[in-house]
Amino acid sequence: MDVYSPDRSVRIAASRRGDIAVEVDGLHRHTDDSLARQVRAAARVALAALQPQARDVEPPLHEQRSGW
C-alpha cells in the first residue's frame, strides 16, 4: 500500500508483512505540529486500508445464526 498525507508532503509505503517506508517532502513548509498532523493523517489512511472489508469479516460467534 502506498498512501499520502492530505498535502502530499508525507508518503507511507507499507506491506502486510510489516515493512514500512516513510518519505517526507517539503519540510521547510511545516512546523513540528503541522508535520505531525500530516504524519498522523497518512497513518490513519494506511491503517484503514489494511482493515479487512466488512463483507470479508465473519460475525462474532454469538452473532452467527444457526441454519434453523
Predicted TM-score (pTM) of this structure: 0.60
pLDDT of residue 63: 59
The pLDDT, as a whole number, for residue 33 is: 93
| CB atoms closer than 10 angstroms to residue 35 | 17
Q: What is the pLDDT of residue 20?
A: 84
pLDDT tens, residue order, the chain (68 aa)? 888 888 888 888 878 788 888 888 887 888 899 888 888 888 888 888 778 766 665 666 665 555 55
Residues spanned by the domain of 48: 2-53
Answer yes or no: is 7 within a domain: yes
Q: Is residue 65 part of a domain?
A: no
Q: Is residue 15 part of a domain?
A: yes
Domain count, the chain: 1
Torsion over CA: 48, 50, 54, 59 (sign): negative
* Residue 68 covered by a domain: no
Question: Is residue 26 domain-resident?
Answer: yes
